[in-house]
Structure 1
Amino acid sequence: MKNEIKAEEVDKLHKMSNSILNNAKYSLDNTDEWYTTYETVAEEVSHYQEQFRGKVVLCNCDDPYESNFCYYFLRHFNQLRLKKLICTSYSGSKIEKIKNNVPISLKLFDNSGKPVVVNQGYVFTISKMPGKIDEEVNDDIIKRVLKRKGVVKKLVGSGDFRTEECIEYIKECDICCTNPPFSLFSNLFSLLVKYDKQYLLIGNQNAITYKEIFPYIKENKAWVGYKFGDMAFRVPADTQSRKTRFWIDETGQKWRSLGNAMWLTNLDTQRRYQELQLTQHYVPDNYPKYDNYDAINVRKVAEIPMDYYGIMGVPITYLKYHNESQFEIVGEANHGSDNEFDLFKPKVNGKELFKRILIRRRNV
């Protein structure tokens, strides 16, 4: 029996994501300094555990002393039976926390015996963690590992993943798992594609339509992960307050959230094989055609008609439910010029619409 997702439930689940039409409201915020929670990492990686077994994992935007990516993989190193963990940090990292905003006091030294300092890029590598196979590593052991002399090495450069020394770590890894600076998302994606690596990356949903990324979405070589929508991030102390999607917790930590965040990956997911159950029939009056392209506009994923085999423009949130055997991705309707698959700027009766994914039903 085929796995099915009821289309009526789709838009209810993503009401918040669909309500954000663009990221302009975030343009004044430095999303390059938004830090991922441990829960966000743990929830997503739990779906891919078998695919991480025996792999070299790279977190190349992650200070080992404050990144929850690094903390997660240290804690689950033996459970996942990792071959190696590599974490590189940018210069200027605060080096003040290990997990869940709990400060730790460590006297840290690099491979030359000098104290670890701010404004220097470092690399942390580990090939073996104390403890039993298939069991989590406790915090006391993690702290002892981080304090070992020589476990952290000073980088020649800033720790930017685009530098030659950091590209060598990309070449070495099997899977890159990180939250790159949003402004550099496509840069990291392109490097991982160039060196034929697997990846699990946090980004903004708008990145889907980037010219460097959308062709891989279309050709079913990249897809969205399990979490596709609202995500919370801790932010620096100097972050300005705002009326929405901002709060300060009981410890004084500032937080922001995005309604259109996502995981992008080329690791296999079970959801890719689930069939979207369609309940609506095609009625021409309910599905207007675009002014400048022979395709119908579908307002919501739940309204995709079961009996229409032409091209349809659907919301970006459709990608969470895309099944290559059920639908073909034809292209996108965005600006009409972003890439060879950006076919037109969507308009209905003269009114411009938000970007759409263009799909066509398979004849099955």
Structure 2
Amino acid sequence: MFQTKPTESTSQGWMANKEKKQNVYFMKAKYEVDDEFYTNYHEIKKELDDYKSHFKGKIVVCPCNDGKKSNFYHYFKLNFKELELQKLITTTFNINDQNAKGTKIEITTKEKKETQLHGRGDFRSDEIREIIAQGDIIVTNPPFSLFRDLIEIVESEKKKFLIVGGTYSITYKMIFELYEKGKIWLGNNQVNIFTRPDGTKKRFSNISWFTNLKSIKHLEPIKLTKRYKNNEHKYPEYDNYKAIEVTSYKDIPIDYYGIIGVPLTFFLRHNPAQFNILGCDFQIKEKYPELVKQDFTQSNTKSAVLNGQEMFTRIIVQRKNGLMPRIKLQNQF
């Protein structure tokens, strides 16, 4: 495996280095109506059903919710007995009224209690942080622009969690470091359909679950069926890096042990026992200069470039089996 060189980089992800055409909408969003997208019930059920064993006897807290309209509330209320929950706590935040107080709803096997909060219900407030501290598992869909804030809170409180966020968020420095330490990973499914506060629907292809709960799928390696030999033309090398492009984790060749670049969706099926994560493409110049092609003239970009086109963020990985030792690098597998 490549040994990481110390770096003073303060990059928070690809937006710290350059502007991408995709997903800029989320990066500019504030805690406003246009930053609010409500998760549909079937999307919640599809993911959470894989973690049923984790909820037994636990207190689940759902901040960032729209009270009884929230599908997180509906899921846990409808499945309370089956999941054998100890308690469900949901909090509300009125996004339309700056003076409105939030609400806390508590459900146990014995009662359902609804009380008014002292503040608006912002999960960053001391009041909601105290409620989060009471829970065992935090499950919610925060405003996309505040995703990192919530991850930082649940991490500091050492909570288990299932939180919806942009898949690209994994390239943020803080999130990526948590991933590398095995403290966070992507869930089993992406979230595709959301509802706006006005009732209209919006489809996305880049939203995932972030979690530190294990499911059976995380024990399964990616099934590799494609071959590199005699198909080299399907795996071109980048113009600027000594790594080949693999357009989908499903296309990773079983007979290739070199360095490859894969899209962010690779994390949906990544098994740490199978692949080593070297980093994001924009980290390569600093961390692994030996992978940089010195004859590449467009030195102003850090992204992987293929056929003259700058690629959307690529994750640079390598199979763990069959790594060849390198003289100047240590900590080999």
Specify if TM > 0.5.
yes
Matches within 5 A, 1:18-97: 22-24=22-24, 31-92=34-95
Counterpart-to-counterpart distance in 2, 1:25 and 1:160: 22
Q: CA deviation at 1:275?
A: 2.1
Q: Which residue of 2 aligns with 1:277?
A: 223
- Structure 2 counterpart of 1:192, which letter? V
Distance 1:340 1:202, change over 3 A: farther
SS state at 1:290 partner: coil
Q: Which residue of 2 aligns with 1:142?
A: none
Counterpart-to-counterpart distance in 1, 2:179 and 2:270: 10
Contact 1:231–1:258 at 8 Å: present in 2 too?
yes
Residue 124 of structure 1 pairs with residue 71 of structure 2: no
- Structure 2 counterpart of 1:303, which letter? D
- Structure 1 counterpart of 2:248, which letter? K
Structure with greater strand percent: 1
Count of equivalent residues: 286
Aligned equivalent of 1:153, options 115, 139, 152:
115
Q: Which residue of 2 aligns with 1:254?
A: 200
Counterpart-to-counterpart distance in 1, 2:52 and 2:206: 25
Counterpart-to-counterpart distance in 2, 1:35 and 1:118: 22
Q: Which residue of 1 aligns with 2:142?
A: 180
SS state at 1:79 partner: helix
- Structure 1 counterpart of 2:217, which letter? R
Mean CA deviation greater in 308-317 or 25-34: 25-34
SS state at 1:73 partner: helix
- Structure 2 counterpart of 1:82, which letter? L
Matches within 5 A, 1:1-364: 22-24=22-24, 31-92=34-95, 119-129=100-110, 145=112, 151-228=113-190, 231-237=192-198, 253-278=199-224, 279-282=226-229, 284-334=232-282, 344-363=302-321
> Residue by residue, what CA displacement relative to the aligned partner does 1:150-197 show, whole Å, maximum 9, x if unpaired?
x22222222111111111112111100001111101110111111111
- Structure 1 counterpart of 2:65, which letter? D
Identical positions, percent = 36
Q: CA deviation at 1:82?
A: 0.9
Contact 2:257–2:318 at 8 Å: present in 1 too?
yes
Contact 2:102–2:121 at 8 Å: present in 1 too?
yes
Counterpart-to-counterpart distance in 1, 2:203 and 2:179: 25
Q: CA deviation at 1:289?
A: 3.1
> Residue by residue, what CA displacement relative to the aligned partner does 1:203-229 show, whole Å, maximum 9, x if unpaired?
11111212221122233321111212x
Contact 1:91–1:158 at 8 Å: present in 2 too?
yes
- Structure 1 counterpart of 2:64, which letter? C
Counterpart-to-counterpart distance in 2, 1:183 and 1:86: 23
Q: CA deviation at 1:272?
A: 1.3
Structure 1 portions without partners, runs of 5+:
1-20, 95-116, 131-144, 146-150, 238-252
Contact 1:88–1:159 at 8 Å: present in 2 too?
yes
Distance 1:126 1:334, change over 3 A: same
Q: CA deviation at 1:291?
A: 3.9
TM-score, structure 2 normalization: 0.77
- Structure 2 counterpart of 1:281, which letter? Y
Counterpart-to-counterpart distance in 1, 2:147 and 2:88: 21
TM-score, structure 1 normalization: 0.71
